Structure 1
Amino acid sequence: MSEPSTPYTPASTSTTVARNETLTLADKIKKYDTTKLVDLLREEKDLGLNDEDLEIICKRKINGWAFLKMDQQDFRDSGFKIGTAIVLADFAEKCKEKKKRAIDESSKEFKLCIDDILRRIKNMGPVVDSNEAMRCKYISTILYTAVSILGGLVILPQMNVSGEENSSCVDYAIKKILDDLLEKIICITEGKQNQLGKGVAQNLMQCRSSCEMNLDTLKKKRKTEEAFKEYEYVYGIVTTATDWYFILHSTEAIYCTSKTEYHISLTEPIYVKM
């Protein structure tokens, strides 16, 4: 009989994550084309924009870079009414000052996440060449930490999503609580060992079904006589635990939020005093 195998116990382990960047929201918006800018403005409910206002953005072909350069008179010249022009000029100015939300590495949630990842590396071994089930252990740790930090969200593993053309069980669904009775899906995550292309295809179908489910939820929330424009979006994540790809799937278009993956190293050994 062979001797029992010894658990993997590296002399030292660590995780590496990207450094927080003190970028303004404007640094992100200036890369937007007209469609993505309209999506952003539509979500900013406090601006009070209607379809006619958003149509001006499209008609004038105002992209993110141009939007940030515009002042009150520029918006007036584009066809906006005085009140809307003031609001948009003020919003554009605030975007230049508003910092993108960064992770507080000193927070309790972040430290617990790192400690959990370190324990998993020590007990289960490195992620490289590990199977999908093991990778999902790391994925769940990172997702649960993100949900905990943001607040107002719930995460459901192995949730069923059903649309007109597809019905499937997703690895992780993150939902936003609308009120005591209603929730909407904001993110679908697909964990993979490899075959990322297949994972992206699956994720897109799942996001599409989730958009359809959200539209049904919003229709129930709104009054029957209220005008309802069928627009919705869901974020998609495809990940191997180390490589993370982010997608934005809306009822109008599909976007890749980055040309390259976001990488979290879960294998590099450096000295850690345990």
Structure 2
Amino acid sequence: MSATSTPISPTSSSSNNASGEKQAPTLAEMVKQLNTEKLIEFLRGEDLQLTDPHFEILRKEEISGRTFFKTTKDEFRSLGLSFGPATALVEFAKEVKDKKLRAFSSYRTLKDFKEVLAKYGIDSNCITSIPQFQPGLHALDEKDEVLRHCISDILLKLENMGTVADSNEGMRREYISSILHASVRIARKITGKEIIIRLEQEIIGEQSSGRADYGITDTEDLLCVAEGKQNLPAIGFAQNLVQLESSCQTNLKKQKKRKASDAFGGDDYEYLYGIVSTGTDWYFILYTTEGIYCTSETEYHISLTKSALKDDADLKRNVKKVMEIIVGLLKDRITVEKAPDAKRRRVEEKYKSEH
């Protein structure tokens, strides 16, 4: 079953377990919320061998997500669907009812992280065991207006909130947001492309679903997913990797729905970038459908202490370095051609010699 990018809220139907933790909803609970057009969009992304005339019948009869599950094979046939499509829809409805999605937030132990890495052939629970890559930079002028505004914003927050507290994840996200928003603004300016940052980006994949702290998108696809963490980068890695996996599935589903004139053949290659940050420490992930890579052996650190109010030279230098990486990653991903083989070539050309 493929991923769906349909904008439905998993939190509205989820339930709590005995400990009070919110559980991931079933896919059926999500599909029940779809109107007719969103249901058709969802079904188009599945390999059901349905064609436009079949979907037109669903549209004409105003079949929504809720009525989809209640419609029998005989009823589908009475609406004008032949035996094959009617059977496919009913069988798929049964499959959807049994599909359980795991919440991103449930990946919160080193054991979970080890299980995530095992999917990529890595037998470890250490972030430095992930193959490394060297991200490309986009050099920024120290006098860049957006960069200077970002520095001023960080200094203002240091003055108002004080040194970052280890236990305060909300404070850390204040600084992460400043850097991400500034980086996206610069990336928009240099590429001329529409890049948007979305807070609490909802992502629904084949196995996992939930909300990422930040999703950076263009008009069609997710480009980068960022996760802010308190002081546990391994847990941030675990969650970000499953977010990236689900995001790749979402992007690939969109590609399959494009017109035949834009079809890219049977290749399902895709890549995105991930960011895991504690506000002070920044890690970057290259996620491809053929492997994962990161920067865990290279230090990207921003000291967020009140001492920067007296001497901000180190702060400026390190914020600039992190922003140059983020802008470079966004520039790379937004300018690559949409075709999967072009994306594979881009990754091989930029990083293959380092792997």
- TM norm structure 2: 0.45
Partner residue, 1:219? 256
Report which of the two has the higher share of strand: 1
Contact kept? 2:166, 2:231, Cα under 8 Å: no
Q: In structure 1, the residue corresponding to 2:182 is in which secondary structure?
A: helix
1:157 corresponds to 2:199 = yes
Residue 257 (structure 1) shift: 3.5
Q: In structure 2, the residue corresponding to 1:269 is in which secondary structure?
A: helix
Q: Deviation digits for residues 49-98 of structure 1, max 9, x if unmatched?
A: xxxxxxxxxxxxxxxxxxxxxxxxxxxxxxxxxxxxxxxxxxxxxxxxxx
Residue 129 (structure 1) shift: 2.5
Partner residue, 1:198? 235
Residue 222 (structure 1) shift: 4.5
Q: Deviation digits for residues 194-245 of structure 1, max 9, x if unmatched?
A: 1211111011000000000010112223527651310111111110011001
Distance 1:100 1:192 in 2: 24
Query: Are the structure 2 counterparts of residues 220 and 172 from structure 1 closer, same or farther at C-alpha, using a change threshold of 3 Å?
Result: same
For residues 167-186 of structure 1, what are the structure 2 equivalents within 5 Å? 167-177=209-219, 183-186=220-223
Query: Are the structure 2 counterparts of residues 226 and 150 from structure 1 closer, same or farther at C-alpha, using a change threshold of 3 Å?
Result: closer
Partner residue, 1:30? none
Contact kept? 2:228, 2:278, Cα under 8 Å: yes
Distance 1:226 1:207 in 2: 22
Q: In structure 1, the residue corresponding to 2:276 is in which secondary structure?
A: strand
Deviation >2 Å, runs of 4+: 270-273
Residue 139 (structure 1) shift: 0.4
Distance 2:224 2:200 in 1: 13
1:256 corresponds to 2:294 = yes
Q: Which amino acid aligns with 1:114?
A: I
Q: Which amino acid aligns with 2:299?
A: E
1:109 corresponds to 2:146 = yes
1:232 corresponds to 2:257 = no
Aligned identity (percent) is: 48
Q: In structure 2, the residue corresponding to 1:137 is in which secondary structure?
A: helix
Residue 108 (structure 1) shift: 0.9
Residue 261 (structure 1) shift: 3.2
Q: Which amino acid aligns with 1:213?
A: T
Report which of the two has the higher share of helix: 2
Q: Deviation digits for residues 158-202 of structure 1, max 9, x if unmatched?
A: 01101000001100000123xxxxx21111111011121111101
For residues 29-44 of structure 1, what are the structure 2 equivalents within 5 Å? none
Partner residue, 1:139? 176
**Alignment RMSD:** 2.0
For residues 47-58 of structure 1, what are the structure 2 equivalents within 5 Å? none
Q: Deviation digits for residues 21-59 of structure 1, max 9, x if unmatched?
A: xxxxxxxxxxxxxxxxxxxxxxxxxxxxxxxxxxxxxxx
Q: In structure 2, the residue corresponding to 1:242 is in which secondary structure?
A: coil
Partner residue, 1:120? 157
Distance 2:159 2:266 in 1: 52
Distance 1:201 1:144 in 2: 24
1:208 corresponds to 2:208 = no
- TM norm structure 1: 0.58
More displaced, 123-132 or 163-172? 123-132
Q: Deviation digits for residues 90-143 of structure 1, max 9, x if unmatched?
A: xxxxxxxxx952122211101110110000000011114350011101100000
Mark the runs of 5 or more structure 2 residues left unpaired by the alignment: 1-135, 313-355
Contact kept? 1:189, 1:238, Cα under 8 Å: yes
Mark the runs of 5 or more structure 1 residues left unpaired by the alignment: 1-98, 178-182
Q: In structure 2, the residue corresponding to 1:262 is in which secondary structure?
A: coil
Distance 2:201 2:144 in 1: 29
Distance 1:100 1:200 in 2: 22
Distance 1:104 1:212 in 2: 37
Query: Are the structure 2 counterparts of residues 133 and 100 from structure 1 closer, same or farther at C-alpha, using a change threshold of 3 Å?
Result: closer
Contact kept? 1:128, 1:267, Cα under 8 Å: no
Q: In structure 1, the residue corresponding to 2:164 is in which secondary structure?
A: coil
Distance 1:241 1:107 in 2: 22
Distance 1:226 1:100 in 2: 29
Partner residue, 1:80? none
Q: In structure 2, the residue corresponding to 1:173 is in which secondary structure?
A: strand
